[in-house]
Chain A
Amino acid sequence: MDWYLLLAAILLPALSAALCFIIKNQKVRIAIVSISTLILFAVAYGFIVLLLRAPEGKLVYQFNESTLEVVSWIIKGLDLVLFSYIAYVGIKHKKAIVVVLCILQVIPWALFEVFGVFGKVFEPEDAFVIDHLSLIMIMLVSIIGPIITFFALGYMKEHEHHLKLTVSRQPRFFMILFVFLGAMNALVMTDNLSWMYFFWEITTLCSFLLISHDGTEIAIKNGLRALWINSVGGVAFIFAIILVNSSLGTLSIQAISESGMEGAFTGLLPIALGLLCIAGFTKSAQFPFQSWLLGAMVAPTPVSALLHSSTMVKAGVYLVVRISPAFSGTILGQLVAISGGFTFAIASAIAISQSNGKKVLAYSTIANLGLVICCAGIGTRTSIAAAILLMIFHAVSKGLLFLCVGTIEQGIGSRDIEDMQGLFKIMPFTTVITVIGMISMMLPPFGVLITKWMAIETAVDQPLVLLLIILGSALTVVFWGKWIGIILTMSYKPKFHIEKLTFSMEAALTTLIVFVMAASIGIVPLYNTLVKPQVVSFVMQDKGSLVGEGMGIWLRNMDKTVYGGFASIVFFIIVLLLMVAIPFFAHRLKPARLKPPYLCGDNASDDMRGLEFISPGDKIENVVVRNYYMQNVFGEDKLTTGANIIAGAIVLIILGVVIGL
Chain B
Amino acid sequence: MLPRDLKPEDFKDYPPEARALAVEHIVALRELPLSFLPSLLREVIEYDFKFPVERAAVEKELANLSALSPRDLGEWFRAFTEIRLTQKLERFDWVNDPAQFVEQLAAHLWSTHQQDAFRSAAIAYAERLRAVAPPQPPALPRLGIAVIGQGVSAYDKPLFRKLRPHGAYFTRVDPESALPQLLQIAADRAKAHSAPYAHWYIDGGAAADHDASLTCVSYAALAPVRAALYRKLEKEIDRPGMGPEALRTTLARMRPADLGLGAGRDSEAVLDRFQLKVLTEGSGTQIFSTIFAQWAAREALRRAQPLTLLVRFAPRQRQRPMNELLSGKADSGESDPLGSLVDADMGAYYNWINQQRLPGAEQSSFIAWFEGHGEALAIGPSLPRGTMSNGPCEMKQLLSLAS
A and B together in one complex: no
B interface residues (Cβ-Cβ under 8 A, vs A):
none
